[in-house]
Chains A and B, each alone.
Chain A
Amino acid sequence: MGRLSTLVLTLALLVVAAAPLRAQQPATNPHGAAPHGLLTPAPEFLPAPWSDAATDGLGALPIQEGGRVKPLSTFAGFTLLRLTGRRSVVLDDGTKLGPDAFMMEALVRPEVAASMPLFLVAEGAAIDAIGLDSTIKKRRARWSFSELQPAVPKLFELAHEWSRIEPAERTAVQQQTVRLAEAVHQFLDIGGFLDFGRVDLPVARTGRLAELLGTDTGRVRYSQLAAAGTRIGELYRELAADQDPLAREELRAIDGLLRLAAELGRAANGLALIPPAGTADDAPTWRNPGEVLSAALDGEPVAPYEIEALRGFEALARAMDDGAAIAAVATLDASTRAAARARGEGLKNDLERSYYAAKPLTWSVMAFVLAFVFAAITWLRPRAKLPYRICSVLSWTGLAFLIGAIVVRCIIRGRPPVSTLYETVLFVTATGVLLGLVTELIDRRRIAVSASAALGFVGLFLAGGYEKLDAKDTMPELVAVLDTNFWLATHVTTITIGYAAGMLAALLGSIYVVLRLFRQRSSSPETFKSLTRMVYGTICFGVICSLVGTILGGLWANDSWGRFWGWDPKENGALLICLAMTAILHGRMSGHLKELGICVAAAFGGTVVAFSWWGVNLLGVGLHSYGFTSGVSKALWIYYGLQWTVCALGGVVWLRAKMQARVRREVAAQVAAAKDSPAAA
């Protein structure tokens, strides 16, 4: 939120930058400058949408963000998630724009994007707080920039004030206001990005600068300035050393021009879309248009394709129709994308675009939901084979999509399957489902396959929820200590498999308890016995992975922090899982835990896994606090509540069984007594 302090300046800059635009309407636009901009009045009728060729081309452009080169469409997708809470914008007429189309509008026709319902406001009171009337929409609604615009100064003022409060101590309204301000700020950043290409900069018609630029029109484009940047820099330094009054006058004019250009360049500092001259090792940090001009003026190397890219952006900013946009995107593609490839960067961008376009996780969750529906049918019609087969096929299909998604992510990043909290959810879900389906293959009682389907859709539903909540790239660069494929592949993978086993065991244990609540054990003892065996087998598998994974984590810590064990919360969480699972196994061995006991303990073990997996991160202490987890606590407490309820129900089942056994004993005793009595004789 430190950026908020510059927002007023940004707004002022937008006003300055956009001022010429109002005067540059098409009819009175002799210089061909763009009629677009954030402060341009929105058209009365929505212009024709951009073609797929234009938006796809734009989405395929590479961008460096968060330390890695990715497709612009990935950046657009997560921007949309942050703004609207989903990966698309649905217009009032029902038209749905994907990330590429949204980015095209926001960059090229921000005045059109300004009227889109972009900003998700979950707390209507935040709208009231900034002086607008929230009652014109639902409590949880999406607002457009045009609707918010009158209240933007108030929004930034309040957000600036409330951002000083610790996030944990903010009220819901304060938190929503701060988030809304961040979202609006980001929209302004994107909408103002191409301003440098929309404006022709004023330059003297005569003089050494005009001579150098080879123009006498009194106007110069940003790209022309950058192309001549090195010589302009030299001229500037030469004039600065000259005491001649005419030279001073010329220097002042150049200074004014460069200041204006720098302001426009600064407005474009949000997106690093231009690979710099040199190799990826020598010059790893990509440039935005402002930095290209600065580098040229400072005499640093600027490659011809960088200037070409600026021309491409200018052409895009001024694109009036689809053909012009396609041509501009082609120019950008030939400059930035080709340069990135030559530097060996963004080589997996096409695969990444295909991954997001194919939506394998959506297909996977659909398969799991359908599988669960058929699982429910198998419960109602236990003898029907078809629903069971369909359920199995759909579960395996969902798993195939999920595993495919994980594999593609591994290829894109060149890393093992788990390196972020989000990826732990995918991996735990996949492993849990696989374990369940393998268990079903061994023990075909239709229980494990049902549990797999449930685990599959709940896991992916939670993954989607977390992705929305975090709204950050789920394939980010890692901090130095985590950036080791060896330990990610061994410790993280093993411990995560342990989580999956623990969660599956908890689910199977819970199913046992719930079944026992409605059915007597004597009605189908083999089913209950088999279910307990599944729980036991899953725990055995889990204890190996948890124990080995925990020790491997210790070995990693020993190599990176100098100690094997430090009682860090995350380490303690892993130890808790090991202890809980080991205690269950020992309880079973000693005879203290029988069928019901093992299942109730496994259900409780689920809360131990959840605490270790997510709960300890909420404590906010320790060396493992890598993940963003605010907002997760509600889901976590719901899960704790569910599992504890299952444990309590287990207690009810136990008491009921005790009472029934007592009654049976008493009846048996009475019968025996009656048989022995002389009257009976």
Chain B
Amino acid sequence: MKAVRSIGTRLVAFFSSLSLAGVLLCLLALLTFLGTLEQAEFGLYEVQRKYFESLFLLHDAGPVTIPLPGGALVMGLLFVNLLVGGVARLRRGLGTAGVLTAHLGMLIMLVAGFVKYATGVEGHVTLYEGDERNWFQSYTETELAIVELRPNGAPTQEWTVADDELRGAGPGAEVALSGLPFGLEVTHWFENANALPKGPMFDVDVPVVAGLFLQGRPKAAQAERNAAGGYVVVTGPDGIRRTGMLWAFDSAPWTVQVGERTFALDVRRERYPMPFDVRLDDFKKEDHPGTSMPAWFSSDVTVTDRMSGDDVSRPVLISMNEPLREEGLVLYQASWGPSNARPGDPLFSTLAVVRNPADQWPFYSCVVIAAGLLFHFGRKLKLHVRRELAK
């Protein structure tokens, strides 16, 4: 029993130690530094996964490979260290009240970060004036979508498969989707590909569809630029196999007739539903006079609540630094385009959409940390000045 207590005490002492805090802070600084430098070559998306969302990683420093703990591990340990050493075991008193408060603020911040990471969803909805949507789409994640097309605007049925499930697909990779009236096989899948015309002077080891074939490419530094694609084989009840080539940057989906029904197969950015509709009524953009530097852009939108059943609509202005917070989602004025539009050309507005339950937690944490540090260091300064003046 004593031995157990001793191990427990040692563990608590280890996890609450100031030395561990110092080591973890230095490790996090190292990871942040390396992750910043690496962005120039590998882009934010890859770097974020490798350095900040991982448990372990191997950093290539020229000819040497250095094993390092990942950002998730370091921040997790920092959380424990802060909780045990910085809050639970901290000596109570006026001298440590400020530090304790600041540590609590940091804990709120780390929890907010974890909640955002674990449950948050990010994407965007891009609208021309008059367009209306009740979904937003991811910047980076891709999905394979099968949509049944029905005449006269009748509700359609939709099946989707996330690209995580399609990575490494090869001939014979059956996709099982309940209710799909045909067999679906993904024979090839590329996380980034280019569609090229097949010339007579070379052979390719993938099917050629309408004179084109998909050529796999290394993943782009900016994940938004990856154009996933693949080949699918649709086998109808009649046993006929039809091969289609799907590509994220294709302007139109591949439509296939199965019996009397028509289906569109498409590779697109992953879509998430919104509990309300957003219609862009007016997009305003002003440049600083005589320049092409944007001074202001904003979107007049109409938000229609479809969930309540009575379809209540209300106008909302979304502008720079003034987002719309609605039913757990936040919509921001993020961008506009096309960038090469001439005066008078129709413009689209891109609203970033985020679902983040911890949206405002960092603000609370900021107030708590500032209060704690100001109290602590203010008190120390006061004591120091008093001592100096007394000399």
Contact = CB atoms under 8 A, between A and B. Distances in A.
Interface in B133-157: none
B288 A563 contact: no
B301 interface: no
Interface in B7-32: 17-19, 21-22, 25-26, 28-29, 32
Nearest to B331: A562
B123 to A, nearest CB: 9
A442 B296 contact: no
Given A548-B370, A554-B362, A589-B18, A484 B29 contact: no
Given A561-B352, A562-B334, A579-B32, A586 B112 contact: no
Interface string A532-551: 01000100110110011001
Interface string B37-70: 1011000100110001000000000000000000
Contacts of B352: 561-562
Nearest to A481: B320
A284 interface: yes
A559 B29 contact: no
Contacts of B40: 619-621
A583 B19 CA distance: 10
Given A480-B295, A556-B321, A592-B19, A583 B388 contact: no
Nearest to A589: B18
A483 B37 CA distance: 29
A544 B377 contact: yes
A614 to B, nearest CB: 13
- Majority SS at the chain B contact face: helix
B203 to A, nearest CB: 37
B385 to A, nearest CB: 6
Interface in A608-649: 608, 611, 616, 619-622
Given A559-B332, A590-B22, A592-B19, A477 B291 contact: yes
Contacts, number: 159
A462 interface: no
Contacts of A111: none
B225 interface: no
Contact of B363 (A272, A555, A622): A555
Given A66-B288, A543-B373, A561-B332, A572 B366 contact: no
B36 A477 contact: no
A551 B330 contact: no
A560 interface: yes
B39 A569 contact: yes
B374 interface: yes
Contacts of B380: 540
B388 to A, nearest CB: 6
B259 to A, nearest CB: 44
Given A537-B384, A551-B109, A564 B362 contact: yes
B296 A480 contact: yes
A592 B321 contact: no
Contacts of A544: 370, 373-374, 377
A572 B161 CA distance: 35
A286 interface: yes
Given A477-B293, A547-B373, A567-B35, A560 B320 contact: yes
Contacts of A583: 22, 25-26, 29
Interface string B293-304: 111110000000
B297 A480 contact: yes
A87 interface: no
A484 B293 CA distance: 15
Contacts of B332: 559-562
Contact of B33 (A561, A566, A576): A576
Contact of B39 (A272, A483, A587, A619): A619
B369 interface: yes
Interface in A469-524: 477, 479-481, 483-484, 487
A583 B32 CA distance: 14
B199 to A, nearest CB: 30
B294 A572 contact: no
Contacts of A566: 44
A552 interface: yes
Q: Considering residues A562, A567, A619, which has the most beta carbons from chain B within 10 angstroms of its beta carbon? A: A562
A619 B37 CA distance: 7
A561 B291 CA distance: 24
A67 interface: yes
A416 to B, nearest CB: 15
B377 A573 contact: no
B285 to A, nearest CB: 9
A479 to B, nearest CB: 6
Given A551-B109, A566-B44, A582 B25 contact: yes
Contacts of B52: 567
Contacts of B377: 540-541, 544
A300 interface: no
B137 to A, nearest CB: 14
A488 to B, nearest CB: 11
A68 B29 CA distance: 41
B297 A579 contact: no
Interface string B109-123: 100110010000010
Contacts of B381: 537, 540
A234 interface: no
A621 B39 contact: yes
A579 B28 contact: yes
Contacts of B353: 562
B359 interface: yes
B290 interface: yes
B166 interface: no
Given A442-B384, A572-B35, A619-B39, A477 B288 contact: yes
A541 B33 CA distance: 23
A225 interface: no
B322 interface: yes
B248 interface: no
Given A541-B377, A544-B370, A619 B36 contact: yes
B40 to A, nearest CB: 5
Nearest to B41: A621
A216 interface: no
B330 A590 contact: no
Contacts of A479: 293-294
A144 interface: no
Contacts of A443: 388
Given A477-B288, A567-B52, A586-B25, A551 B18 contact: no
A107 B40 CA distance: 45
Contacts of A238: none
A608 B32 CA distance: 12
Interface string A577-621: 001101100110110100000000000000010010000100111
B366 A575 contact: no
A67 B321 contact: no
A442 B388 contact: yes
A285 interface: yes
B290 A64 contact: yes
A551 B321 contact: no
Contacts of B33: 572, 576, 611
A672 B109 CA distance: 58
B101 interface: no
Interface of B: 17-19, 21-22, 25-26, 28-29, 32-33, 35-37, 39-40, 44, 47-48, 52, 109, 112-113, 116, 122, 287-291, 293-297, 320-323, 330, 332, 334, 352-354, 356, 359, 362-363, 365-366, 369-370, 373-374, 377, 380-381, 384-385, 388
Interface pairs A-B: 9 shortest CB-CB: A67-B288, A590-B18, A562-B352, A551-B366, A284-B289, A583-B25, A579-B29, A562-B332, A285-B289
27 contacts: A67-B290, A67-B295, A68-B288, A286-B289, A286-B290, A477-B295, A483-B295, A544-B374, A547-B373, A551-B362, A551-B365, A551-B366, A554-B362, A555-B362, A555-B363, A558-B359, A558-B362, A562-B332, A562-B352, A572-B32, A572-B36, A576-B33, A583-B22, A586-B22, A587-B22, A590-B17, A592-B22
